[in-house]
Amino acid sequence: MDEDTPDDGAACPDGTPRPDGGTERAEPTEDVALDPWGSASVGDYADLFEEFGIEAFDDVADDVVDPHYLMRRGVIFGHREYDAVAEAMANDEPFAALSGFMPTGDPHIGHKLVFDEIIWHQKQGGDAFGLIADLEAHSARGMSWSEIDEHARNYLLSLLALGFDAEEGEIYRQSDNREVQDLGFELGSKANFSEFEAIYGFDGETNISHMQSVITQTADILYPQLVDEPKPTVIPVGPDQDPHVRLTRDLATRVRYFKVTEAFASFELDDDERQLVRAAYDALAAGDGEGEVDDAETDVRCEDAAEWLADYEPPETEAGDGDDAPSLDLAAAKSTALDKLRAGGKEPLRPRVRFFDRNATDEAFEALIEAVEGDKRVFEGHVDAFELTRGEAESVAREVEIDHGGFGFRQPSSIYHRFMTGLTGGKMSSSVPASHISLLDDPEDGYDKVRSATTGGRDTAEEQRELGGEADECPVYELYAYLLAGDDDELTKTVYSECVTGERLCGGCKEQAAELMREFLEDHQEKREEAEELLEELDIDLDSDRRGTGGEH
């Protein structure tokens, strides 16, 4: 039998069917770090939820009408606000998917995950975008323009071969997309160096073009919203790209003309305080609890609410008690809310939505005031509207912004997939050819690499029959789950259960996988040849006559 997968704390595949609970959590080993230009490995995916606020994909999976196999198998493990995209998809509303590829080498089976994710969203009706991150490859990886051209071509052929519809969707190079450049320039005016230092560890030695490539990526991520209208957009990527996603989500907000919040009186409340003041308002406005509350007719004053709140015990939240416990510190919020209410004195408490002028032009602010329907009050720098819901207010704000030359962006969403384990154990690395399979590998070489892959098998056949193999630790099982089984869940389930029960031995299992890999590569490469023609027809310059430095070698 084969040697065991070395336990290097790298990605632990958690494929279909998931092990029945209780696989022991690995000791928190490496520091969690998400570095877009560092090594693509993650010690423990669960840490990413707590450390970075990435959400578990499981929480949103039920909202996806017909989930992709990578979603069903836990390969896509995390997301940010994917609910917005799932909802648009379910309701036939506009949405988009975009991802980008740094043309630093050959596309391999890890990139295929992302190609597939874009293509799937396109088939679900989304606007789809695939871009070549040539500015990043040149500035962060020192690739020369001719190398970039060649690699870019290979990425695009594979993307097309896998089914990307370039007539419906859009493919571009960062360097050739003037709108992206302009958007990046605009976004860059809302970001500064200290922030790049904090997020990416940039310092005085970091080259300026590298920084420019970062701001270009934030523009890439928001670019789909320039086409037609702002819309939910998903960025399928590995978790190493999350810093870019977080920055872009921030910038998308910072460039907005208006900020919409909910308030009860002239003063501001934070989220926790608002929850308490709402409780006070609801209790007092409802009187003895009968009938609907008519906001306009209640006569609750700030001081009344203060009195009520003083005796109110906020619900306790136990720290660390499961995933669902809100991280609210209502006790602290109670004291600050009380101060604000007491200072409000006799001012009436009335729920309202508030529009702050953040970046609006004077005309846009005037137009907003016009556009707010019903009872409203205009202040220096903000408008309170008494008859709009939060949702209605958001739409008015967005419409006015777009009519007056703003972007009206929504925050982009993201989904994160697990990194594949290398075929030689450890991480998959393009610098170790045996550890990964390139989409350009000779099918026979692909076959051979799978045949000689590390497995989760036992030392002897006898032991394997007795104990079963460790499919969860097996790069070959991963190949089935991430790629070879395609949409066929039965196959992954069979391999998994036959493996862990000891019915399946690694020799035969690898032979089957190796043959599937050979077939996949043969088929894919045939399709790449057919895609040559499609690529020719596209308006993409793959013979850039850019001058520049030769790159670092």
Going by C-beta distance under 8 Å and a sequence separation of 6 or more, which residues neighbour residue 42? Answer: 11, 32, 48, 239, 418, 419
Q: Which of 235, 509, 521, 535 binds ligand SF4 (CB under 6 A)?
A: 509
Interacting partner of 239 out of ligand TRP, ligand SF4, none (Cβ under 5 to 8 A depending on kind): none
The contact pattern for ligand TRP, residues 292-311, with x = CB under 6 A and - = no contact, is: --------------------
> Which residue lies nearer to ligand TRP by CB, 395 or 430?
430
Q: Min. distance of Cβ 98 from ligand TRP in angstroms? A: 6
331 phi, psi to nearest 5 deg: -65, -45
Tokens of 355: 């529009």
List the interface residues with ligand SF4, window 442-501 (CB under 6 A): 455-457, 469-471, 474, 476-477, 495, 499
> Which residue lies nearer to ligand TRP by CB, 2 or 127?
127
User: By rule CB under 6 A, what count of residues binds ligand SF4?
Assistant: 15
Please state, in angstroms and rounded to a whole number, the distance separating the CA atoms of residues 204 and 85: 39
Say if residues 441 and 158 touch (Cβ distance below 8 Å): no
Q: Min. distance of Cβ 223 from ligand TRP in angstroms? A: 9
Q: Which of 274, 436, 504, 518 binds ligand SF4 (CB under 6 A)?
A: 504
Interacting partner of 156 out of ligand TRP, ligand SF4, none (Cβ under 5 to 8 A depending on kind): none
Say if residues 258 and 356 touch (Cβ distance below 8 Å): yes
Please state, in angstroms and rounded to a whole number, the distance separating the CA atoms of residues 424 and 449: 9
> Which residue lies nearer to ligand TRP by CB, 160 or 235?
235
> Which residue lies nearer to ligand SF4 by CB, 305 or 495?
495
Chain centroid, CA 271 distance in Å: 24
Number of H helices, E strands in the chain: 21, 11
List the interface residues with ligand TRP, window 83-122 (CB under 6 A): 98-102
Q: Min. distance of Cβ 509 from ligand SF4 in angstroms? A: 3
> Which residue lies nearer to ligand SF4 by CB, 337 or 471?
471
Q: Per DSSP, which regions of 218-351 are E strands?
A: 233-237, 258-263
**Does 105 engage in binding with ligand SF4 (CB under 6 A)?**
no
Task: Please tell me the total number of residues recorded for the chain in this structure.
Answer: 553
Please state, in angstroms and rounded to a whole number, the distance separating the CA atoms of residues 73 and 365: 49
Interacting partner of 455 out of ligand TRP, ligand SF4, none (Cβ under 5 to 8 A depending on kind): ligand SF4
Going by C-beta distance under 8 Å and a sequence separation of 6 or more, which residues neighbour residue 551? Answer: 138, 142, 143, 144, 147
> Which residue lies nearer to ligand TRP by CB, 11 or 133?
133
Pairing of strands 55-56, 376-378: unpaired
Tokens of 404: 């007056």
User: By rule CB under 6 A, what count of residues binds ligand TRP?
Assistant: 15
Interacting partner of 476 out of ligand SF4, ligand TRP, none (Cβ under 5 to 8 A depending on kind): ligand SF4
Please state, in angstroms and rounded to a whole number, the distance separating the CA atoms of residues 123 and 129: 12
**Does 152 engage in binding with ligand SF4 (CB under 6 A)?**
no
- Part in contact with ligand TRP (CB under 6 A); list of ranges 184-192, 235-243, 362-370, 454-462: 235-243
Find where tokens 């308030």 sit.
263
Give the DSSP letter string of 110-153: HHHHHHHHHHHHHHTT-EEEEEE-HHHHHHHS---HHHHHHHHH
List the interface residues with ligand TRP, window 123-142 (CB under 6 A): 131, 133, 136
Q: Which of 12, 71, 162, 235 binds ligand TRP (CB under 6 A)?
A: 235
Interacting partner of 495 out of ligand TRP, ligand SF4, none (Cβ under 5 to 8 A depending on kind): ligand SF4
Q: Does residue 3 sit in helix, strand or coil?
A: coil
> Which residue lies nearer to ligand SF4 by CB, 290 or 490?
490
List the interface residues with ligand TRP, window 402-441 (CB under 6 A): none
Chain centroid, CA 473 distance in Å: 26
Say if residues 42 and 29 touch (Cβ distance below 8 Å): no
Interacting partner of 71 out of ligand TRP, ligand SF4, none (Cβ under 5 to 8 A depending on kind): none
DSSP 8-class letter at 286: T
Q: Does residue 239 sit in helix, strand or coil?
A: helix
Q: How far is CA 452 from CA 277, 300, 518, in A?
A: 65, 75, 14
**Does 12 engage in binding with ligand TRP (CB under 6 A)?**
no
Binding residues vs ligand TRP (CB under 6 A) = 36, 98-102, 131, 133, 136, 217, 220-221, 235, 237, 241
Binding residues vs ligand SF4 (CB under 6 A) = 455-457, 469-471, 474, 476-477, 495, 499, 504, 506, 509-510
